[in-house]
Amino acid sequence: MDHQIDATDGPHRSPGADDGQWTVRQNPKALVTLWCSAGDAGTIGGLVRGDRGTRPGARPGRPVAGRELGVHEVAKNVFCVRGTDVNWLLVREGRDLTLIDSGWLGDVPALERSIRAIGCRPGDVCAVLLTHAHLDHVGGLNHLRERYGVPVHMDPREVPHARREYLEQVRPAALLQRAWRPRVLAWSLRILRAGATRDLAIPHAEPFPHDGPLDLPGRPVPVACHGHTSGHSAYYLPDAGVVATGDALVTGHPTSPVVGPQLLPCYFSHSARDSVAALDSLAELDAGVLVPGHGDPWYGPLSSAVAEARRRAASSEGTRR
């Protein structure tokens, strides 16, 4: 795994950052290139419709069209799309769309295809809502802005992170220590192809225009879940009963054999302790579908998903891998 660090500004640990996590203060000449290589790795596989079933659990649903696309309709007019080991969501209202997260830089062609697969055009995206500014979630933002004028909004605390006034990202050393694991190695090779060539600044990052439900398709309600990053946000879609949890609560990750609601391995998060505490704000939501940043959609009461993640965290299965 190749990486370059120009340390003229001195990468330093921020107070409260956990092992495996660092914060880099922005220096125009000094940022971190975690990965090298670029390319279109946009492999997404089968348009499927959500299948809530009767038992809580994670499942992708049934393919209904376009097997080369990985689009799942998890609730009416709410689509989960699988990019390169990361998900984004499309919320449709007529032809208007809200997009939640945007995959890797190399997922941009797949992002456009997924929008067209549900009968819309990229220019129909009214706004992107960002859960957090890690590279696997911000890849399409600059493209959508430059090509279609699409704005992006996020928690006010995440704005400086997205603009790369600082960077909260897993340390390359933390990954290199684990690179001997086949799962980590295979995942690393995939994300290299996903085009994470350099860190991405999002200069047009803006905070939410106001508190409460946003005037966008789905009437999404931001839910602060600070911990994975300092300004991480989930998005609650009350009419659909869906919550997009980003990396605050996932159901799987390629580096882990665990399937089901869980926190990411602690070295991916800025504060593992705050990540556990942030589950409180999710547990109260009246949602029956969880769409995570990583892993399959999960069907069942959100409180049950949170309880399962808490159990795993408490037993260290979810955070000490």
Residues found near Zn ion in the complex (CB under 5 A): 134, 247
Residue 142 structure tokens? 């600059």
- Residue 267 · residue 237 · CB < 8 Å: no
Q: What is the residue-wise DSSP string for 201-257? A: --TTEEE-SSSSS-SSTT--EEEE-TTSSTT-EEEEETTTTEEEEETSSBS--TT--
Closest to Zn ion by CB, 79 vs 268, is 268
Closest to Zn ion by CB, 216 vs 250, is 250
Closest to Zn ion by CB, 50 vs 265, is 265
- Residue 299 · residue 287 · CB < 8 Å: no
Separation between Cα atoms, residue 255 and residue 182, nearest integer Å: 9
Min separation Cβ 103 and Zn ion, Å:
12
Separation between Cα atoms, residue 270 and residue 171, nearest integer Å: 11
Min separation Cβ 130 and Zn ion, Å:
11
Closest to Zn ion by CB, 134 vs 153, is 134
Min separation Cβ 296 and Zn ion, Å:
17
Separation between Cα atoms, residue 252 and residue 65, nearest integer Å: 25
Residue 25 structure tokens? 């203060």
Min separation Cβ 131 and Zn ion, Å:
8
Separation between Cα atoms, residue 133 and residue 321, nearest integer Å: 23
Closest to Zn ion by CB, 44 vs 86, is 86
Closest to Zn ion by CB, 124 vs 247, is 247
Separation between Cα atoms, residue 226 and residue 274, nearest integer Å: 7
Closest to Zn ion by CB, 113 vs 161, is 161
Min separation Cβ 139 and Zn ion, Å:
12
Closest to Zn ion by CB, 44 vs 133, is 133
Separation between Cα atoms, residue 83 and residue 69, nearest integer Å: 9
Min separation Cβ 135 and Zn ion, Å:
8
- Return the sign of the alpha-carbon dihedral for residues 118, 122, 127, 131: positive
Min separation Cβ 184 and Zn ion, Å:
16
Min separation Cβ 309 and Zn ion, Å:
15
- Residue 231 · residue 156 · CB < 8 Å: yes
* 116 Cβ neighbours under 8 A, 6+ residues apart: 122
